[in-house]
Structure 1
């Protein structure tokens, strides 16, 4: 039990190790998104700083898990096991210290320097890291000064934990070497009738290796079980809860917006009320309106009827056009055999009244093209368990994935080449909209189509089994091969959770 003294050190290091592991992982996940802006190529020591944060996040999680497992396991360490314990402790400490050295290539080393964070380490193009981070991924830290203070605090904790763990590892190595030498000297110098007990030494050596194997199995078995079952279950429950709450909020939001549209007041107080004055007859007889429609376009008739209530009554009467009248107007207007529909509002167009507009593919159409459904069992085995292909990247999109929650404008697609623009056939009314209005309208239209199609009976892309209408549906991004957490995908086929939330 010579390694038991480090139990006190591990108890004291447990909370700081947790801060290093989880806070460091959160900081790195947010900081790495700034790499797309190219800021690490212009600030002094930027690449070393980013590499240190990555190393710090990875080894911080491992150090926390090792510290937790060996809190009581160090009590059983003796001789070579104590030596092995010290080697692992020293390896963790070395990694933490190396990551701290890399971070120090850019970070200030004192809290007082954070008072001038807006002028610290400006890039060659004049940009400041803390200002850029505060405006994008670290907007909830309360300003560049507080962000700098938090990062320096984590860096100081990393240095102190690295030094303390290094001392613990060196002491355990020395204790293990002394005990191993003592055991070897004592067992190798025992004589019976003048002969060295060689067999006893071999047996003791074999027993030590057997004990080392049992100890490793004793450590790894609970660790693997924790990673395989409780951790996977926690991941699954967390994602299930988030997905259910997001779906419930989306249903409430869609219901409120639909109610708002139904109750929205018109331009005039009486515009939303039914036309009860039957004395208001159309100015043009219906037969004359049909003859006039042969020389105009259908979209012009509809646009004129929507421009003014008096004009609508003059054309169609107080009750408005009935479905049979609209069908006659479609047939006689827009002369020619090449009639088609507007791809945005669905109104009839012809080659003389339609407009071709270049638009980037909507986000909903990209989801419909690339995302594939999976059942809960396949999602649990592949994306929640630690040994799964994507177990460590749950709900994390790659930087190159085009299905992140962003909207791509037409100008961006044409200039930056983000995605090839499509040519849409629109009516005159839709073509007169601004690019932002058209983009929002297409997003809403394609999102409704995505929701409609994905509620149909589907097959799991992995096990090829039919997905239940009452079970949760999981969607896997086909580009970065991880879960797509977008709100556009319906959580259930019937639109309602199995139980009210």
Structure 2
């Protein structure tokens, strides 16, 4: 019952803490918007004043939430547990006091000084802070004097909270340590909230943890079970919607391919004036003097030239291998790392190419079963449970740009690749698009095969949602490149 004394002071702190937490966040967001004008670089102690408001908004919200939770929580605390709560209260008071000191480096400390707000500590370029703020973001306050009055009022509330919370912290530390000191040395210390006897010499830490768990058990149960079920259900619904969207996209792609094939077949039937085809022996003699990429470039330059070289029906079986053998004279023959065309040291080029996001998904994303995903990522106290709401990652896979030009600009990693002349002449955006077109079918093919869970090593269901975890940042990867649902 020792902590009952601090409950009285905590009750008195509710109103000023509510003012600090509600008004502080909005005031800082509006004040921070003036940073673009450069006003904080010219007024005296402008940056310190802005940093003080930032601390004020952050610690004000934390102090209000802490005070609300511990108003009844500290009622039954005593001994070292009460001293620990007092240390946290003192930390809040010290942080808010630093915020108040930094604010006082610029704003007036009395309401009377606000009458001269239009001439208060003007900047080196002659601008006045309150006039600048009133003309941009604070036009609802009713003038520079009213704005100054509101800031001084907020600062005064901060000072009052510092005093009250400083007293609360000192009382809790003094009562907690006093209760522990008054106990007989070497005698057992009984912890009512934990339910059994613990020796002060080595067991008070367990009693302290038990008391905290006793206070937080209802909240932890709510966070662990209903909240985890809601998180899992929300992600399951998203997967189901992505599945339907993916089915529609695949049907549209198949329809487009059929229409394109029918168009090409119609053009082939209409074109009756076929040019003469070059004999294969002459074509092989020509290939000895050129590179394989030159032959491919010639076929893409003109339809008639392609028909002269290879005919309307294309190459006969084995002729393509002969062209590869006779072209690119030499033994060192490789292939382009983007399009796969044969190259040699004379016709290849090494260029730094931006890495493909799809290839990064292939390397870094791992499949999880539904059970492991629920236990590891949906529960609040799981290792990665608190990261599910936001993709707190440095891999930037969630923020993958769908616009190729923007994606190339945002790319930070590059790889040196051996390319043919055609791919080397492309722009960075065109190469990125070609890499995506090559990697996406491979990613889709691999991920639709039977897979095992990366955590429990059990085989995943052939029908059901697929959960993908980024192995670099240990968060769920919601990219559209991964199939949301397993299909037989």
Task: Give 5+ residue unaligned stretches, structure 2.
Answer: 33-39, 109-121, 125-134, 141-146, 176-189, 197-206, 402-409
Partner of 1:379: 373
Partner of 2:230: 234
Partner of 1:365: 359
Q: Deviations over 1:73-127 (max 9, x none)?
A: 58x959989x99x969966974784586499599999xxxxxxxxxx999xxxxx
Give 2:392's match in structure 1, choosing from 397, 403, 408: 397
Partner of 1:464: 457
Distance 1:89 1:41 in 2: 34
Partner of 2:61: 60
Q: Deviations over 1:287-336 (max 9, x none)?
A: 43344333333322222122122222333334444555444434443444
Partner of 2:348: 354
Partner of 1:451: 444
Q: Is the 8 A contact 2:354 2:411 kept in 1?
A: no
Q: Is the 8 A contact 1:338 1:351 kept in 2?
A: yes
1:13–1:447 distance in 2 versus 1, CA, 3 Å: farther
Q: Mean Cα displacement is larger for which, 6-15 or 478-487?
A: 6-15
Q: Is the 8 A contact 2:223 2:379 kept in 1?
A: yes
1:351–1:374 distance in 2 versus 1, CA, 3 Å: same
Distance 1:454 1:428 in 2: 33
Q: Deviations over 1:208-227 (max 9, x none)?
A: 99799999776422111112
Distance 1:259 1:41 in 2: 61
Distance 2:98 2:316 in 1: 74
Q: Secondary structure at the match of 2:450?
A: coil
Q: Secondary structure at the match of 1:480?
A: coil
Task: Using structure 2 for the length normalisation, give the TM-score.
Answer: 0.59
Q: Displacement, 1:424? A: 2.0
Partner of 1:185: none
Q: Is the 8 A contact 2:52 2:99 kept in 1?
A: no
Q: Secondary structure at the match of 2:465?
A: coil
Partner of 1:483: 476
Partner of 1:220: 216
Distance 2:139 2:246 in 1: 37
1:403–1:47 distance in 2 versus 1, CA, 3 Å: farther
Q: Displacement, 1:229? A: 1.4
Q: CA RMSD in A?
A: 5.9
Q: Deviations over 1:165-194 (max 9, x none)?
A: 779979999999xxx9xxxxxxxxxxxxxx
Q: Displacement, 1:433? A: 0.8
Q: Displacement, 1:159? A: 7.3
Give 2:297's match in structure 1, choosing from 303, 313, 328: 303
1:283–1:368 distance in 2 versus 1, CA, 3 Å: closer
Q: Is the 8 A contact 1:383 1:391 kept in 2?
A: yes
Task: Give 5+ residue unaligned stretches, structure 1.
Answer: 32-39, 110-119, 123-143, 181-204, 408-415, 496-501
Give 2:427's match in structure 1, choosing from 412, 431, 434: 434
1:470–1:355 distance in 2 versus 1, CA, 3 Å: same
Distance 1:162 1:226 in 2: 33
Partner of 2:276: 282
Q: Secondary structure at the match of 2:475?
A: coil
Q: Secondary structure at the match of 1:422?
A: strand
Q: Is the 8 A contact 2:86 2:170 kept in 1?
A: no
Q: Is the 8 A contact 2:20 2:57 kept in 1?
A: no
Structure 2 counterparts to residues 237-256 of structure 1, below 5 A = 237-246=233-242, 249=245, 252=248, 256=252
Distance 1:51 1:398 in 2: 29
Structure 2 counterparts to residues 151-230 of structure 1, below 5 A = 219-230=215-226
Distance 2:397 2:292 in 1: 38
Q: Displacement, 1:431? A: 1.7
Give 2:338's match in structure 1, choosing from 344, 368, 390: 344
Distance 2:221 2:440 in 1: 41
